[in-house]
């Protein structure tokens, strides 16, 4: 198990390096000049050169990349002397238009995205898997058909459409739920949850559909395996076979998908945030893109990549636990 763990950690590190490298290189090799974007107006040649030197853009791209990596691990200082801007580790860059380190911007927005993602994830995992299990257990019944059709609808409906329909029906028609704005959990837990009901349900509906379909096919497939028949033939009860043998094998891919989905969503629920007017990581990214705030764009991307890589690590560890064959 230790060897497996170490191998996985090394793999995570390599993938993370590659993800940051690609994100960094692509954005900084694009023909937009990051120094000019950070320079502000009016941008005199003197000031441009000053900004370039301050941000380290006067170095070659590989050196810049190494400085960036170093900043994530150790923090970094921009400029020298009295005008030094310190960016503490983990430093994802410095946004000049906003005059703040990217890390603090991310830290400020992350609770919003976390609130949206965590609640929705709980909801979609429970409802999606339950619906899938019902479908698999009562295969070809009217309930199975109903849920399967519903799941197909959920898979086909774009997230923003579901959200807008929710706003139209529950916000404007019946006027029972708030349709935008985020209340911090620490300010008022009840209002926090109340304002998040629609975003949670929107994401849960869209994601649960996928989980229903996946759970259904997985469990049905496992139930067709020989070892299930053997377990039944040995005299184990249907319930015991289902719970002890079929679920464990059938739900492993579901958990895999769950970790990846949650990791992806934590990097920014871009569309949900836009529909419901919440200022999370996704909104931060969209705004940064609109104002060409390159350090924030790169920072958001790298941070999102980090989360997905961590999710992958979690999946690997989970697999090692659920299926001992992988660790050997």
Partner 1 sequence: MTELGVASVTATGQDEPLPPTGGPWARGWDRFRSQHWGLVGGLAVLGLIVAGSCAPLLARIEGQNPYSYHLELLDDARGNAPRGPLGGVSTAHWFGVEPLTGRDLFAITLYGLRTSLLVGIVATAAAVLIGVLIGLLAGYAGGLTDSVLSRFMDVMFAFPSLVFMIALTALVPDSLPRVLVVVAVIAVFGWTAIARVIRGQTLSLVNREFVLAARSLGAGWRWILVRELLPNLVSTVIVFASLAVPAAVGTEAALSFLGVGIPPPAPDLGRSISDAIAWVQGDPMFLLFPAGLLFAAVLGFNLLGDGLRDALDPRAARTAWTGRQGRGR
**Region binding partner 1 by CB under 8 A among candidate stretches 42-50, 190-198, 232-240, 267-275:** 267-275
Interhelix angle 189-223/102-137, nearest 10 degrees = 50
Smallest gap from Cβ 4 to partner 1, in A, equals 13
Q: Does 233 bind partner 1 (CB under 8 A)?
A: no
Q: Site for partner 1 (CB under 8 A): how many residues?
A: 74
Q: Are the C-beta atoms of residues 73 and 90 closer than 8 Å to each other?
A: yes
Q: Does 112 bind partner 1 (CB under 8 A)?
A: no
CA distance 125 to 262: 10
Which residues ranging from 131 to 190 are in contact with partner 1 (CB under 8 A)?
A: 152-153, 155-161, 164-165, 167-168, 172
Smallest gap from Cβ 278 to partner 1, in A, equals 13
Q: Does 204 bind partner 1 (CB under 8 A)?
A: no
> Smaller CB distance to partner 1: residue 75 or 221?
221
Cα angle vertex 191, ends 188, 194, to 5°?
150
Q: Does 201 bind partner 1 (CB under 8 A)?
A: no
Q: Does 206 bind partner 1 (CB under 8 A)?
A: yes
Smallest gap from Cβ 37 to partner 1, in A, equals 10
Nearest C-alpha neighbor of 102 from the set 136, 68, 133: 68
Q: Are the C-beta atoms of residues 159 and 203 closer than 8 Å to each other?
A: yes
With CB under 8 A as the contact rule, the residue among 131, 203, 204, 246 that binds partner 1 is: 203
Q: Does 271 bind partner 1 (CB under 8 A)?
A: yes
Which residues ranging from 236 to 265 are in contact with partner 1 (CB under 8 A)?
A: 253, 256-257, 261, 264-265
With CB under 8 A as the contact rule, the residue among 106, 214, 231, 251 that binds partner 1 is: 214
Q: Does 210 bind partner 1 (CB under 8 A)?
A: yes
Which residues ranging from 25 to 44 are in contact with partner 1 (CB under 8 A)?
A: 26-27, 30-32
Smallest gap from Cβ 51 to partner 1, in A, equals 19
Interhelix angle 102-137/281-290, nearest 10 degrees = 130
With CB under 8 A as the contact rule, the residue among 4, 5, 19, 59 that binds partner 1 is: 19
With CB under 8 A as the contact rule, the residue among 1, 10, 18, 49 that binds partner 1 is: 18
**Region binding partner 1 by CB under 8 A among candidate stretches 41-49, 84-92, 234-242, 287-295:** 287-295
Nearest C-alpha neighbor of 90 from the set 108, 79, 102: 102
Which residues ranging from 60 to 89 are in contact with partner 1 (CB under 8 A)?
A: none
Q: Does 11 bind partner 1 (CB under 8 A)?
A: yes
> Smaller CB distance to partner 1: residue 87 or 259?
259
Interhelix angle 189-223/159-166, nearest 10 degrees = 130
């Amino acid at each position: 198990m230790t060897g497996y763990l170490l191998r996985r950690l090394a793999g995570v590190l390599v993938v993370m390096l590659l993800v940051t490298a690609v994100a960094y290189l692509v954005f900084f090799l694009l023909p937009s000049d990051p120094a000019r974007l950070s320079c502000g107006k009016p941008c005199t040649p003197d000031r441009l050169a000053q900004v370039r030197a301050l941000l380290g853009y006067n170095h070659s791209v590989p050196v810049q990349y190494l400085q960036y990596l170093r900043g994530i691990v150790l923090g970094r200082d921009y400029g020298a002397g009295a005008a030094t801007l310190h960016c503490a580790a983990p430093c994802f860059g410095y946004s000049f238009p906003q005059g703040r380190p990217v890390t603090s911007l991310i830290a400020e927005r992350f609770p919003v995205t976390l609130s949206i993602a965590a609640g929705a994830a709980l909801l979609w995992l429970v409802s999606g898997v339950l619906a899938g299990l019902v479908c698999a257990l009562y295969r070809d019944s009217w309930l199975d058909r109903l849920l399967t059709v519903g799941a197909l609808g959920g898979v086909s409906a774009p997230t923003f459409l579901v959200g807008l329909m929710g706003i139209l029906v529950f916000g404007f028609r019946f006027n029972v739920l708030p349709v935008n704005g985020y209340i911090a959990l620490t300010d008022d837990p009840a209002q926090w949850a109340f304002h998040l009901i629609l975003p949670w349900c929107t994401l849960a509906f869209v994601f649960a559909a996928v989980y229903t379909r996946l759970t259904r096919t997985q469990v049905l497939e496992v139930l067709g395996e020989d070892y299930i028949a053997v377990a039944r033939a040995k005299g184990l009860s249907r319930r015991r076979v289902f719970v002890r043998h079929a679920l464990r094998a059938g739900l492993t891919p579901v958990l895999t998908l769950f970790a990846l989905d949650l990791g992806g969503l934590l990097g920014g629920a871009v569309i949900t945030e836009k529909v419901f007017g919440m200022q999370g990581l996704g909104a931060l990214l969209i705004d940064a893109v609109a104002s060409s705030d390159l350090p924030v764009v790169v920072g958001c991307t790298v941070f999102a990549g980090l989360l997905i890589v961590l999710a992958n690590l979690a999946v690997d560890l989970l697999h090692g636990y659920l299926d001992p064959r992988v660790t050997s």
